[in-house]
Structure 1
Amino acid sequence: MTETNHLIVFTRYPEVGKTKTRLIPALGAAGAAALQRQMTEFTLKRVEKLAQQQDRLNSPLSVEIRFAGGDRSLMQDWLGSRWSYQPQASGDLGERMRLAFQSAFETGSKHVVTIGIDCPELDSATLAQAFQALQDHDLVLGPATDGGYYLIGLRSLIPELFSGIDWGTDQVFRQTIAVAKAKELAIATLAPLTDVDHPEDLPIWEATQA
């Protein structure tokens, strides 16, 4: 049976006033929504590059966009018909990720990686490294410099990784590692990268656009 690599991209429809709200003081509501749009499109270009480089992966790559806000029609009008679109579940971030992983494994995926669109330093090589790590690790994490993580990958559903975590704090990575060690998982970590969440992070985005 062919092993299937599956990438889940979490994003939000770029509705003014409801996206990148922590950047509204610096960019304004319309500017923050525009950045959400631009960062999503930028991330998907990196994903497209990975999909075109199958030699980096040991099996084909499928991609799913899990969206909040808007609807399937709006998402498809925006980003095109090549992607699979699913609305994010209700609940906190952990519950939404758990259900996304569960769905992927239930439909036959073997190596599943989830990312957001907030990390412009995340390139196709790092994505490929994450899938390669799942060949012989149970869990792969990409630590973010704010104490969270920009990427998580699994080869089976481990629900405990998504509950009891203080989402949105600088404890997320540390708490997730603690759960993984308690379950004696084989853990791989990627290079630390910076999410663009606050005004002081904007130079990271600007540097990738130069």
Structure 2
Amino acid sequence: MNTLRLVLFTRYPVPGSAKTRLIPALGADAAAAVHKRLTERTVETLKQTGKSVEIRFSGGDTNSFSSWLGNDLSYLPQVDGDLTERLLAAINPAPVIFLGSDTPDLSAHHVNAAIHALQKSDVVIGPADDGGYYLIGIAKPYPFLFENMRWSTEHVMPDTLHRLRQQKIGFELLETLHDCDRPEDLDRWPWLTS
């Protein structure tokens, strides 16, 4: 069996291109600062698991990312295209757990629970309160979980579960967490903008 990978999708915190949905409330610089803080926190959380961490990046290069997040991680540029194409390009080798950097309450406990779940189930999902997920782990490559998805909608989680049930693939659900995507989400975490 291949070694489990933790794959974090993130972008360089360039004002105007990071956390764009927060810009109307915070301005471009402060929205990028929120993204920077969230990414750093997520990386530290993933490091606590002792597993190898792979950063799939956009908006910078390997040098800028290793200067920012450290040279003890693997760095690969994201492929061009939508989220489907970016996930499919990173699907091998499995097992792999995909994460984003939008979940302030993510802890090593959640990631370790996902790692443990993948030892018993084919798929593990960390549901987000908005109908998506903050984490998805697969024991084998399952491209059908990412193809023709209605990303960034409340349909992501229900569609994913429907596909798993259709294919009779066992899965485990983790605790539901909140993502920080919209201005109204910021009230939940005052420390993000302090």
TM-score bracket, normalised by the shorter chain, equals: over 0.9
Distance apart, 1:203 and its partner CA:
2.6
Corresponding position of 1:176: 160
Question: Could you tell me the percent identity over the aligned residues?
Answer: 44
Matched position secondary structure for 1:66:
strand
RMSD: 1.6
Residue 49 of structure 1 aligns to which amino acid in structure 2? Q
Please say if residues 55 and 75 of structure 2, whose CA atoms lie closer than 8 Å, have aligned partners that are also in contact.
yes
CA gap 1:133/1:122 in 2 versus in 1, 3 angstroms: same
- Distance in 2 between residues matched to 1:191 and 1:80, nearest whole Å: 29
Instruction: Tell me the CA shift for residue 80 of structure 1.
Output: 1.4
Give the secondary-structure state (helix, strand or coil) at the position aligned to 1:25. Answer: helix
Residue 8 in structure 1 maps to residue 7 in structure 2 = yes
Partners of 1:37 and 1:80 in 2: CA distance: 14
More helix by share: 1
For each residue in 1:23-65, what CA deviation from the matched residue of structure 2 results, as whole angstroms up to 9, or x when unmatched?
00111000111111111001111112222xxxxxxxxx21100
Distance 1:140 1:159 in 2: 15
Which secondary structure does the structure 1 equivalent of 2:18 belong to? coil
Which consecutive segments of 4 or more residues in structure 1 shift more than 4 A?
207-210
Q: 84, 98, 115: which is aligned to 2:99?
A: 115
Q: Is the 8 A contact 1:121 1:208 kept in 2?
A: no
Cα deviation for residue 208 of structure 1 reads 7.7
Give the match for residue 22 of structure 1.
21
Partner of 1:35: 34
Q: Is the 8 A contact 1:19 1:33 kept in 2?
A: yes
Paired residues, what number? 194
Partner of 1:158: 142
Task: Write the distance in 2 (CA, Å) between the matches of 1:99 and 1:206.
Answer: 36
User: Which residue does the alignment assign to 2:89?
Assistant: 99
Is this contact kept in 1: 2:179–2:185, CA < 8 A? yes
Give unmatched runs, 5+ long, in structure 2.
Answer: none
Contact preservation (8 Å) 1:111, 1:153: yes
Is the 1:130–1:153 contact (alpha carbons within 8 Å) kept by the matching residues of 2?
Answer: yes
Partner SS for 1:101: coil
How far apart are the structure 2 equivalents of 1:180 and 1:39?
30
If the length of structure 1 is used for normalisation, what is the TM-score? 0.88
- Report the residue type matching 2:101 in the other structure: I
Structure 1, unaligned stretches of length 5 or more?
Answer: 52-60
CA contact (8 A) 1:21 1:32 kept: yes
Q: Which among 43, 61, 66 is matched to residue 56 of structure 2?
A: 66
